[in-house]
Chains A and B, each alone.
Chain A
Amino acid sequence: MTTPPVSGSVTVKSPVSRRRLSSSLVFLVVSLYFLIPLVATFYWSLRGEKDVLGFEAYRKLFADANFLPAFSESILNAVATILLSLLIVVPTAYWVTLRLPRLRPVVEFITLLPFVVPAIVLVFGLIRLYSRPPLLLTATYDSSRFLLICAYVALSFPYMFRAVDNGLRAIDVRTLTEAAQSLGANWTTILIKVIFPNLRVALLSGALLTFAIVIGELTIALYMAQHTLGPYMANLTRSKVYEPSAMAIVAFAITWAAMGIIDFLARGSSRHKQMVDTD
């Protein structure tokens, strides 16, 4: 976090300030690349009404009959994904840390697979695997939705596993487990009452990252013919002029909120750790 000390800062002041100047320049130029699209989109989103700047595009977006259903369905899918992913990943990471360390390389390999199998390939495979009996899941909207959530859970593995694994490394799982065991707790009690609460920050980070990825996901939802936010947004860009800009700003705000909370949590927990360390 701290900037490295600059050697001889008093005697050789000019190279340091020159470096600061060129640093600022680089930072400024790259910032422009990142900020201009946001500013431009925001500007467009304010032009929904003729000749005045205002929030008409946002009002129209929220009033669109398809927006809220798509949005709420995406939120529900994301929540279901997070819960299912936690339910699968937490025991796995716990077991691999404590009881079956030999399996760690295998589990880590599998959690890397979503980077090897891109979403477009995964949905292709899912459709081919589940579009005919005995594994028919693409027949109805709801069964396709189930398949979609399962695919999202698989996609969340890399993030969720890493988050939970980091969380487990930060606490002393063994001592906690042994203490709970010696007090007579069984494995379910240990997981729910001891491990879960101690992993709160790690779990929340994994959950929020998953949320940010899943909420506007397009590729899988599109080919599973789901009426979620991703396909809705894609449709909107083709049919409307100003609403897509409002939509992009809303999506950006959601991502920003999720990432901001993760940062906030991480900073809080590292501060807490520092306090414990200095004890």
Chain B
Amino acid sequence: MKPTTTNSKSVNSTVGGAKRPPRLRLGHWLGVLPFFVFSGLFLIGPTLILAYRSLERSEGGLTLDNYRQLASDTVMSAYGMSIRISLATAILGGLIGFLIAWVVSMGGLPPRFRLITTTFSGVAANFAGVPLASAFVFTLGRVGVVTALFEVLGVDLYKSGFSLYSFLGLTLVYLYFQIPLMVLTILPALDGLKREWREAAENLGASPLQYWRQVALPVLTPSILGTMILLFGNSFGAHATAYALTGGLFNLATLLIGQQISGDVLHNPGLGYAVAMGMVIIMAFSIFIYSILQRRSERWLR
């Protein structure tokens, strides 16, 4: 990342400074102006209006009351479920994704497996939404194929407490796009492990386990943690899959916002804005931590 920036700085001074007369400085901005105007209108503006409304008192003036009301039962249980599902799918997705990435990159399998895995991960990571929900309904729904297979074996999944429309069910569904995302993000980090490190460790008499515990894992930890946080955000903001699966009636933060758009289900518009902004704050926080960890891991893995 860094070299290009410094490189192009010198470019700027020759191209922009020496060859072009200074009166064209405004012209410099023309290339990026559409981007900033567009982002302002359709990305930043909409977010800012929600931020403003969330702080607005109904009689005028600013207040933090709406944020205090986030502690209400409806909101807290929706946030709670979102956070639980996101944590579970981030940790499980992270671990399984890491395992798969390790298996296809250094597990001794033919290179073909790696190619299949990355291509499939690209597809599955983008397969969220209605089709994914449908696929799981046909698999683990009340009349799903796997549910039916279990019935043949004498196990009634739904009578024994399983439901696709629950914490466990949604976690299973979300893993379908979380694991591939982990694989795609962590593979480059695994590739960054230098062969010399392993050789050096071996020459010093380290066992494979010692190499992993004392060299590879410490180097990889920021990447692994960072990507897990990315997965957390990815699941926390997911709406379409849960909507398609539950018809929008499950107790989830994104679905609560959806209900609030359709009608004032919280009986307080201001609270609706605060719920949305709370989401933005949590997402911003996780992306922030992710980028810090990512920068840390770049120190070793290039």
**Residues of A bordering B, CB below 8 Å:** 1-7, 16-17, 19-20, 22-24, 26-27, 30, 33-34, 36-41, 43-44, 87-89, 91-92, 94-104, 107, 110, 112-129, 147, 150-151, 153-154, 157, 169, 174, 177-178, 181, 209, 212-213, 216-219, 222-223, 230, 233-234, 237-238, 244-245, 247-248, 251-252, 255-256, 259-260, 262-263
Residues of A with C-beta under 8 A to B122: 259, 262-263
Interface-centre pick from A16, A30, A94, A209 (highest chain B CB count, 10 A): A30
Which residues of B (76-114) have their CB < 8 Å from a CB of A?
96, 99-100, 103-111, 113-114
Of B58-66, B155-163, B239-247, the segment with at least 4 beta carbons within 8 Å of chain A is: B239-247
B49 at interface, CB cutoff 8 A:
yes
Q: Are B111 and A124 in contact (CB under 8 A)?
A: no
Q: How many residues of B contact A (CB 8 A)?
A: 94
0/1 interface trace, chain B 5-18, chain A, CB 8 Å (1 if under): 10011011001100
How far in angstroms is the closest Cβ of chain A from B290? Answer: 9
Contact B129 A216 (CB under 8 A): yes
Q: Is B261 in contact with A119, judged by CB distance below 8 angstroms?
A: no
B131 vs chain A, min Cβ distance (A) = 4
Q: Are A37 and B15 in contact (CB under 8 A)?
A: no
B interface majority secondary structure: helix
B residues within 8 Å of A by Cβ? Answer: 4-5, 8-9, 11-12, 15-16, 19, 28-29, 31-32, 34-36, 38-39, 41-47, 49-50, 53, 96, 99-100, 103-111, 113-114, 118-120, 122-124, 126-127, 129-139, 144-146, 175-176, 179, 195, 198-199, 202, 233, 236-240, 243-244, 247, 254, 257-258, 260-262, 272, 276, 279-280, 283-284, 287, 291
Chain B: minimal CB distance from A129 (Å): 5
Other 20 A-B pairs with CB < 8 A, given A3-B109, A95-B32: A3-B110, A3-B114, A101-B5, A112-B287, A112-B291, A115-B237, A117-B283, A118-B239, A118-B283, A119-B240, A120-B257, A125-B45, A219-B240, A222-B243, A223-B258, A230-B240, A233-B129, A233-B244, A259-B119, A262-B122
| Min CB gap B243→A, angstroms | 7
Please give the distance in Å from A156's CB to the nearest CB on chain B: 11
